[in-house]
Every structure is written in structure tokens, then in C-alpha cells.
Amino acid sequence: MTVATLTSEAKTRSRGRPREFDMDAALDSALRVFSERGYHATSISDLTEAMGLASGSIYKAFKDKRGVFLAAFGRYRQLGRRRLEAMIASAETGRDKVSQMVMYYTELSYGEAGRKGCLVVGGANDFALLDEEAAAHIVTAFAADEKLMADLIRIGQADGTISKTVDPAAAALAFLCFTKGQRVIGKTGRSREEMVSAAGAAMKLVT
């Protein structure tokens, strides 16, 4: 069962009745709680407070906490991908596109955004050994970022801004490790200057 299916089920459980709450706003509130606290440390009472819903409404719409997480995860990925692709599209060369992707994660790795953390990275920790289906969604998210980065590196090699000696697959994996690691380190309060400096060092992978 996919996240889209779960979200669809949540939206159709009360078919025939007018929706009593804004689904997107509720999920935005839920993902903030999950990002900050992690799945296991988040309780239904935490979600009812953040989402402004009674527990009965949450159970009716999502069935359980896991259902809320998967629906929020789907929205998180959708919104994040949209912003990332817009940044990439603004760059002209392949190397600049790689830089934009790295900077997208860098800008989320300090200050308030950094302290909130990443739902994908947090989910990897929470579900890796405990929930195969949920873990599969995390793996898919990581794989999508890795593939996109490899594609951008190949674009740079085609336009001459990245050396053809660079192994796109290996470099993409290295960038995946770097950017996801940034989201972890970002929770410890590092400065923008530190994170931007680290991003500059990482870009030497594609000289």
C-alpha cells in the first residue's frame, strides 16, 4: 500500500459528509511534530494539540498514529520536491544545478529549520528495523534524491562543467550521505556559515 493510497483512504473515510478540517494544514502541523520529536516520541495527544483536532477525528481520518505519519510524510515529500525542483530549474549549468541541490539541504540545516530536523532522516531511524512498509517509503525517498543528483552530475558532464572522470553514482551517494548528515548535524545548532562552508567543501566532489 502506497502513501498515496493511504492518503486517499484517509480522505474518503468520511465520504458523503463535509470535511470538518483542512487536511493539508493538519498534516503540515503533524509533520512539524514528527520532525522535531521523531515518530516514537510523538503521542496522539501531541498530534491532537498540534493539529487542533480531537483524537476521534484523527482516528476517523487516519486510523492511527502511523496513518498520520505516512500521510504527513507524503505531503512533506511532495512539497519539498516541488521547492527543490524549482531551485534546480533556476540554474543553467549542470554543476550549478548540483550546487542548488546541495544548498537546498544546507539552508535547512541551521537555525530554526535545522533544529526541526528532517522527517525522512528521522523516519529512517524510527522505522529501519520495525516497520518494513514504512521503511520502504524512506528508502524510496533516499533513492529518488540519489538518482536526481546522479542525473544532475551527468548533465554537468555533458555541458562540460563537471569532469568526466567523476563517477556519477559514487558522487551521488556521497552527496546523499552529506546532505542527510547535514540534517542530523543541523539539530545541534550549527551556524549558517559552518554549513555553507561544508557545502563548499562537498562541491569539490564535482570539480
Residue 20 pLDDT: 66
**Which pTM value belongs to this model?**
0.81
99-103: list long-range contacts, CB under 8 Å, 24+ apart: 99/203, 101/148, 101/149, 101/152, 101/175, 101/179, 102/175, 102/178, 102/179, 102/199, 102/202, 102/203, 103/196, 103/199
Instruction: Answer yes or no: are the C-beta atoms of 96 and 48 closer than 8 Å.
Output: no
Cα-to-chain-centroid distance, residue 164: 30
Question: What does the alpha-carbon distance between residue 129 and residue 200 come to, in Å, rounded to a whole number?
Answer: 34
Backbone angles phi, psi at 94, to 5 degrees: -60, -45
**pLDDT tens, N- to C-terminus, the chain (207 residues):** 454 544 554 444 444 444 467 899 999 999 889 988 888 889 999 999 999 999 899 999 999 998 999 999 999 999 999 999 999 999 999 999 999 999 999 999 999 999 888 888 888 877 766 678 888 888 999 999 999 999 999 999 999 999 999 999 999 999 999 999 999 999 999 999 999 999 999 999 998
Q: What is the separation of C-alpha 106 from the centre of its chain, rounded to a whole number of angstroms?
A: 13
